[in-house]
Structure 1
Amino acid sequence: MKKFTLRSVCVFAFGFVLMGCEKDNDSATPFAANDTKNFGTSPTSCEIIEFDGYNDIVTGGGAVTTVYSEGTPVRISAQLRSARGNNIDTERGVYLNNNAAVLYNTSQPDNRNKNYRTPNNNAIRPMGNVLTVGRQQGNSTAIYNKGSRLEMDFSEMGTITLNGIHVLDIEQNEADSKLDLIDKNGKIIKTFNLPVTGAYGATRLNTEETPGVAKIRVTFGGEGTSNGSGAIDVIEFCRD
């Protein structure tokens, strides 16, 4: 269970990212165990972004900056929530400027988080690399659990229709974590609460085939608090 500020794990570029668990949440879709490549995804999805295709992921300064889908870049950034210093976006909380988007390899958990190895009771499939928020420290990654936000910018595709997104490691005390879908003018189209998966669990959030999305923003933990972590994977969408 997450009772500490930073979690150190080694990052490798392999593994399998599709996963699932059943949750009592209207926005969380239980997974059917068929077709391993598309396990737990909508058959209407035209493209799926996952984070095991190392050659399609660009990093800078230890942080993930870009992932490619069918040759088109999707820009990625993340910020740590902080009570002081170098803050941005004070209307939605105090965040540090530096990009803190990192990969976490759930196939190689560290000793402190050995129960993150999948499959487990709350994540019935292996998950491989997932996208989260933290700091790169040499050959390892420290995951931040004091609150953060993560953004994926699809504007170089124009806009997309978002079908679903897989959510990991949201505990009950992080139930106020959320997903904002944002249009090309920066207006929030829809907001979804992230489903509680339990420690190291995973499930699919059904985003109701929402069109006109230029950016998604995931906030881990409630704004104004010093609590919250998690991860995302398997972004399902079609270009508008």
Structure 2
Amino acid sequence: MKTFFNSTVATAVACLSLFSCTQQDEELSPNESLKVSQQSDLVGFDPTTCNLIQSFGTGELPRAVDVIEENRAIFTVKAQRRGHNGKYLNETSAVLLDPQDPATNLLNPFDTQMAGVYGLLTVGDESGLAANETGGRVILDFTPVSSVTMKTLVVADIEESEAGSKVQLFSSTGQLLDEKPLPVTGDKGLGFVSFDNVPGVAKVIVTFGYERQKSGSGAIARLQLCIEGEGVDDFCFQSINSVWMQYTGSNPANITVKAKEGAASKVVYSGKGVKPGTMFKLENAAGFGEALVVETQRKDKETIPMTCNGPTSLKKQYGNFKLVEVRSGAGMPLLLQ
């Protein structure tokens, strides 16, 4: 779960050393030169991505956007400029800018081409035709598809003065699932934020500039995710080593989760006063043995099988506990009944 910035300098040098690179660019139209494979040729592509968002829909640029639909994913988007003392102004439409237009001034041409960037999603200024420079945030709401598993966020133009920019992931109940700083990319640079497959994400808030300062700009250049129910595999051949669970009871509870192997058991999670709707992750590289035993102080007890030898029979719901996502060593989420 590390935040990192992918430099493309080495690739640039290699390309510049080949005359064919320049020659090919001269022969291709601007649109053709940006056609990059959605897999191995796309810088920073995660092969387990189900839904790649890189054009943010169709239409002329620049334009205001409220709903984005691409690659089977659909979500709403809003923007807020930041006022004095960190207070945010009323929500407006977000703005989608053309990365190839020099007036956009958010991403250099080389990274635009190598990363396959077709649109830059950002907070618009008062004109609605350029990026806001006084700080703000973009709010992505995935409830139209229920939720998503976040994999990678690609951002542009986060300068040193904008350190403190961040991305936050929230569940449908408002729980903060993860928060990471946006990498400082430098002027017109490109940066990557990778998540450890955080599922159940209903809302993403990307903040440009430190909250208490009325300054900051930047843009979202690409999203890599899996909408709920996509990318699942109904066969399990390696030990289950990652489980996201949600408490769905009606009252706060003290929860203990034990991994059971024969007569032995080991506590893998313990939480006091866990609120309804709270999600938590269980992880063990060696697997969880035969089963997970979940108990509360009210003597509620659920046994969830963790055997892995072919088609799984895991259910989504066990009493007051929901399995949001289960993964084995194979990497892809397992099918839940």
Assess if the C-alpha contact under 8 Å between 2:157 and 2:217 holds in 1: yes
The separation in 1 between residues aligned to 2:91 and 2:200, in whole angstroms, is: 28
The separation in 1 between residues aligned to 2:155 and 2:66, in whole angstroms, is: 20
Could you tell me which amino acid in structure 1 is paired with residue 102 of structure 2?
P
Q: Does the alignment pair 1:128 with 2:118?
A: yes
The separation in 1 between residues aligned to 2:45 and 2:115, in whole angstroms, is: 13
The separation in 2 between residues aligned to 1:51 and 1:187, in whole angstroms, is: 29
Deviations 1:29-50 (A, max 9, x none): 63797x6333121001111112
Q: 2:45 aligns with which of 28, 41, 45?
A: 41
Assess if the C-alpha contact under 8 Å between 2:162 and 2:208 holds in 1: yes
Q: Which runs of 5+ in 1 are unaligned?
A: 1-24, 85-92
The separation in 2 between residues aligned to 1:194 and 1:239, in whole angstroms, is: 23
Q: Which runs of 5+ in 2 are unaligned?
A: 12-35, 229-337
RMSD: 2.9
Q: 1:158 aligns with which of 146, 151, 155?
A: 146
Assess if the C-alpha contact under 8 Å between 1:146 and 1:229 holds in 2: yes
Find the counterpart in structure 2 of residue 30 from structure 1. 6
The separation in 2 between residues aligned to 1:104 and 1:235, in whole angstroms, is: 16
Q: How many equivalent pairs are there?
A: 198
- Kindly indicate whether structure 1 or structure 2 has the higher relative contact order, using CA contacts under 8 Å at least 6 residues apart: 1
TM-score (norm 1): 0.73
Deviations 1:131-158 (A, max 9, x none): 0111374xx7121111101011111111
Could you tell me which amino acid in structure 2 is paired with residue 66 of structure 1?
V
Find the counterpart in structure 2 of residue 21 from structure 1. none
Could you tell me which amino acid in structure 1 is paired with residue 53 of structure 2?
I
Find the counterpart in structure 1 of residue 92 from structure 2. 99
Structure 1 counterpart SS, 2:123: strand
Could you tell me which amino acid in structure 1 is paired with residue 110 of structure 2?
P
What is the CA distance between 1:116 and its match in structure 2? 4.0
TM-score (norm 2): 0.53
The separation in 2 between residues aligned to 1:169 and 1:69, in whole angstroms, is: 24
Assess if the C-alpha contact under 8 Å between 2:56 and 2:69 holds in 1: no
Find the counterpart in structure 2 of residue 66 from structure 1. 67
Structure (1 or 2) with the larger CA radius of gyration: 2
Structure 2 counterpart SS, 1:234: strand
Q: Does the alignment pair 1:182 with 2:170?
A: yes
Q: 2:183 aligns with which of 195, 219, 228?
A: 195
Assess if the C-alpha contact under 8 Å between 1:160 and 1:239 holds in 2: yes
Assess if the C-alpha contact under 8 Å between 1:119 and 1:126 holds in 2: no
Assess if the C-alpha contact under 8 Å between 2:147 and 2:201 holds in 1: yes
Identity level (%): 31
Structure 2 counterpart SS, 1:156: helix
